[in-house]
């Protein structure tokens, strides 16, 4: 039971049942899809930019509690941030999941820590990383190529 | 005959190693009995040599045993001759081999018929064949109970139909399809039929004498055999159609620089060094299955299936997907407000292995309006205690998420 309580902690449970900006936006400025063909989890992300700031971001779709909560946490963390900063936050979150961050690194959000547990539950790594990986790729390709 | 099902778990080393394991993902692959593992290990330890090549004893023994396994498969599925049995990498490859061979006779405007509940392995090869040949892929629809709607079958089987490919037992819904009726309808119009028997052979009575399929595929690893081997049965009258799938040694009669004469089916399909140990393991798996009374063992898994379905239906927060009248021991379900992966992940922490996802039947899930389901599937070593454990696990899951 230990792993379960750690995986589904209060942060993940809360973001799963009350996800941040969980809404389908028609005609959004940019949209991207985070999709895992193996499990079928699929979230569409709707991004509104104001100059180079992620001014508003919503998501909608279907996925497990971990992938849904992780997407919700991501939206909260990068909304209002510049593209540069958002990209850094994505790299930080993914680095944290992969155990590649220096110790004592100050995380952009305390809530990130709830996902550290997937280091030990490998089968759920992809769930936690799904939207972040896609967002990092999107930001890199769209703004840095 | 007559080996008791009681205590059968002990014949599987994994359950001695992991006594707590409740393995309910048998539709993905079954566990392997000691006799199969031993056959594979002993081959490499004491008998290893390539087949069809060496004149020394090890090689000729390996060849004899490899061919003996072909005969075992032939008897097991009730084929007329071992010449009708080819060994492949798996059922997926078996279907791809058939689809590749149909390239030469499927032309623009022809059609292939499949059903709406096919595994991707019995969908994509036909879909891609139809794209290549500008042919039409026709689909037998599935109703909300999870059964094939066969009313219109006569209408879609026409003079342009080159093949009907259908699954015997749905890997997602557990539905047992009336393949005798389907085959009879197709044969009335001289249309050959491929049966995907991946979930049926070894789990319930399946014999070509009862179901006159033209092509039959199955995966030994889903009936206690090793992974990496597959079976393709092709009725003799279709052998001329069968094209080599891999080009290379072992499948040829004569090779010149500019042309090659291939061997006949099945050897034309077995280029390169085959998975000899796997095929011998398949032989051991057939011996293992033959130890049991097939009727007794299928009655037993049917009881597990119906008991589990009843218990699930009594839980108001669980919904069993589809209600086909005849089902194999595969049970798909969803839990209210809890994603299938969270269900499977929770059960995994209780040493209960089930599958969650779309089970390689995305179009079927779409038709049912579902993105994913949880699937529990039974084999002869499962017990009623396993059912109690998963039911208890689901109750705890509910409490955990409330």
Preceding peptide of B247 cis, ω within 30°: no
Top pLDDT among B381 and A103 is at: B381
Three-class secondary structure of residue A38 per DSSP: coil
pLDDT reported for residue B19: 94
pLDDT reported for residue B203: 67
Please spell the DSSP secondary structure of B364-386, one letter per residue: HHHHTT-S-EEEEE--TT--HHH
CATH number of B37-290: 3.40.640.10
pLDDT reported for residue B1: 42
CATH 3.40.640.10 range(s) for chain B read 37-290
Q: Which CATH architecture has domain B8-28+293-401?
A: Alpha-Beta Complex (3.90)
pLDDT, average across residues A116-136: 92
- A-B C-beta contacts closer than 8 Å: 45
| Token pair of A29 as six digits | 């400025």
pLDDT reported for residue A56: 96
Mutation test of the interface with chain B: which of A13, A64, A126, A128, choosing the one with the most B Cβ atoms within 10 A?
Answer: A64
pLDDT, average across residues A63-89: 96
The answer to whether the beta carbons of residues A47 and A131 sit under 8 Å apart is no
CA distance to partner chain B, nearest, from residue A41 (Å): 8
Q: Distance of alpha carbon B250 from its chain centroid, rounded?
A: 27
Instruction: Taking the CA atoms of A49, A54, A59 and A63 in sequence, report the sign of the dihedral they define.
Output: positive
Cβ neighbors of A16 (< 8 A, separation 6 or more) are A65, A68, A69, A72
Task: Enter the DSSP assignment of B45.
Answer: I
| Active-site position among B360, B376, B380, B397 | B360
CATH of the domain at A47: 3.90.1010.10
Kind and range of the H or E element at A31? Answer: strand A30-35
A66 at interface of B, judged by CB pairs closer than 8 A: yes
Contact assignment for A4 to B372 by CB distance below 8 Å: no
The answer to whether the beta carbons of residues B367 and B116 sit under 8 Å apart is yes
| Token pair of A112 as six digits | 């990130």
Chain A residues within 8 A of B365 when measuring between CB atoms: 40
C-alpha to C-alpha distance for B153 and B130, rounded to whole angstroms: 19
Residue range(s) defining the domain that contains residue A127: 2-144
C-alpha to C-alpha distance for A68 and A42, rounded to whole angstroms: 9
Contact assignment for B371 to A38 by CB distance below 8 Å: no
**SS3 of A56-124:** EEEEEEECCHHHHHHHHHHHHHHCCCEHHHHHHHHHHHHHHHCCCCCCCCCCCCHHHHHHHHHHCCHHH
The answer to whether the beta carbons of residues B326 and B176 sit under 8 Å apart is yes
The pTM (predicted TM-score) of the whole model is 0.91
Helices B34-42 and B276-290 meet at what angle, rounded to 10? 150
A63 at interface of B, judged by CB pairs closer than 8 A: yes
A40 at interface of B, judged by CB pairs closer than 8 A: yes
Given a cut of 70, whether residue A1 has pLDDT beyond it is: no
CATH 3.90.1150.10 range(s) for chain B read 8-28+293-401
Residues B320-339 as b or e (16 or more Cβ within 10 Å = b): bbbebeebbbbbbbbbeebb
Mutation test of the interface with chain A: which of B336, B342, B350, choosing the one with the most A Cβ atoms within 10 A?
Answer: B342
The CA distances from residue B381 to A38, B6, B82, in Å, are 28, 8, 30
Residue spans of chain B under pLDDT 70: 1-4, 202-205
Roughly how many angstroms between the first and final C-alpha of chain B, as a whole number? Answer: 49
Judging by DSSP bridges, how do beta strands B161-167 and B193-196 pair with one another? parallel
Please spell the DSSP secondary structure of B46-81, one letter per residue: II---TTT--SHHHHHHHHHHHHHHHHHHHHHT-S-
The beta strands (E) that lie in B168-285 are given as: 193-196, 215-218, 230-234, 252-255, 260-262
Contact assignment for B356 to A39 by CB distance below 8 Å: yes
pLDDT reported for residue B202: 59
Residue numbers of A between 3 and 22 with CB closer than 8 Å to B:
3-4, 7-8, 13
From the list B341, B400, B401, which residue is nearest A39 (CB)? Answer: B341
The CA distances from residue B22 to B25, B173, B306, B398, in Å, are 9, 21, 18, 19
Instruction: Give me the number of domains chain A comprises.
Output: 1
Residues A26-63 as b or e (16 or more Cβ within 10 Å = b): eebeebbebbbeebbbbbbbbbebeeebbebbbbbbeb
The answer to whether the beta carbons of residues B263 and B251 sit under 8 Å apart is yes
**SS3 of B121-145:** HHCHHHHHHHHHHCCEEEEECECCC
Chain A residues within 8 A of B349 when measuring between CB atoms: 1, 3-4
Active site annotation includes B130: no
pLDDT reported for residue B204: 64
C-alpha to C-alpha distance for B317 and A42, rounded to whole angstroms: 24
CA distance to partner chain A, nearest, from residue B343 (Å): 9
Among residues of chain A, what percentage have pLDDT more than 90? Answer: 72
CA distance to partner chain B, nearest, from residue A66 (Å): 8
CA distance to partner chain B, nearest, from residue A145 (Å): 34
């Amino acid at each position: 039971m230990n792993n379960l309580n750690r995986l589904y902690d209060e942060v993940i449970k809360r973001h799963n049942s009350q996800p941040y900006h969980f809404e389908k936006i028609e005609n959004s400025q940019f949209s991207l899809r985070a999709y895992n063909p193996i499990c079928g989890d699929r979230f569409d992300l709707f991004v509104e930019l104001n100059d180079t700031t992620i001014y508003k971001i919503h998501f909608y779709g279907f996925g497990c509690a971990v992938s849904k909560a992780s997407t919700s946490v991501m939206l909260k963390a990068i909304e209002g941030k510049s593209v540069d900063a958002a990209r850094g936050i994505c790299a930080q979150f993914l680095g944290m999941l992969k155990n590649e961050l220096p110790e004592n690194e100050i995380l952009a959000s305390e809530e990130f820590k709830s996902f550290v547990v997937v280091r030990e539950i490998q089968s759920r790594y992809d769930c936690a990383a799904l939207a972040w990986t896609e967002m990092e790729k999107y930001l890199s390709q769209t703004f840095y190529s | 005959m007559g080996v008791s099902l009681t205590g059968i778990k002990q014949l599987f080393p994994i359950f001695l190693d992991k006594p707590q394991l409740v393995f309910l993902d048998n539709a993905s692959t079954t566990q392997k009995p000691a006799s199969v593992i031993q056959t594979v290990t002993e081959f490499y330890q004491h008998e290893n040599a390539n087949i069809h090549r060496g004149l020394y004893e090890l090689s000729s023994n390996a060849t004899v045993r490899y061919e003996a396994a072909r005969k075992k498969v032939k008897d097991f599925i009730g084929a007329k001759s071992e010449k009708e049995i080819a060994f492949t990498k798996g059922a997926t490859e078996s279907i791809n081999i058939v689809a590749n061979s149909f390239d030469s006779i499927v032309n623009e405007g022809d059609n292939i018929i499949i059903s709406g509940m096919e595994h991707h392995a019995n969908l994509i090869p036909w879909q891609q064949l139809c794209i290549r040949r500008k042919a039409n892929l026709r689909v037998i629809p599935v109703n909300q109970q999870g059964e094939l709607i066969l009313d219109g079958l006569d209408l879609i089987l026409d003079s342009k139909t080159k093949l009907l490919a259908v699954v015997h037992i749905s890997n997602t819904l557990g539905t047992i399809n009336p393949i005798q009726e389907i085959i009879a309808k197709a044969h009335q119009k001289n249309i050959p039929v491929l049966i995907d028997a991946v979930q049926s052979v070894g789990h319930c009575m399946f014999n070509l004498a009862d179901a006159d399929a033209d092509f039959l595929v199955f995966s030994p690893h889903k009936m206690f055999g090793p992974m990496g081997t597959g079976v393709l049965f092709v009725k003799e009258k279709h052998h001329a159609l069968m094209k080599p799938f891999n080009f290379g040694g072992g499948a040829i009669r004569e090779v010149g620089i500019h042309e090659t004469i291939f061997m006949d089916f099945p050897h034309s399909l077995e280029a390169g060094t085959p998975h000899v140990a796997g095929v011998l393991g398949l032989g051991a798996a057939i011996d293992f299955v033959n130890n049991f009374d097939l009727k007794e063992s299928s009655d037993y898994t049917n009881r597990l299936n119906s008991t589990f379905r009843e218990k699930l239906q009594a839980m108001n927060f669980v919904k069993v997907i589809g209600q086909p009248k005849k089902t194999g021991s595969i049970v798909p379900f969803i839990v209210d407000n809890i994603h299938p992966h969270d269900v499977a992940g929770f059960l995994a922490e209780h040493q209960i292995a089930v599958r969650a996802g779309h089970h390689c039947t995305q179009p079927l899930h779409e038709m049912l309006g579902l993105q994913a389901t949880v699937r529990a599937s039974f084999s002869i070593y499962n017990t009623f205690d396993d059912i109690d454990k998963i039911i208890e696990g689901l109750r705890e899951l509910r409490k955990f998420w409330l």
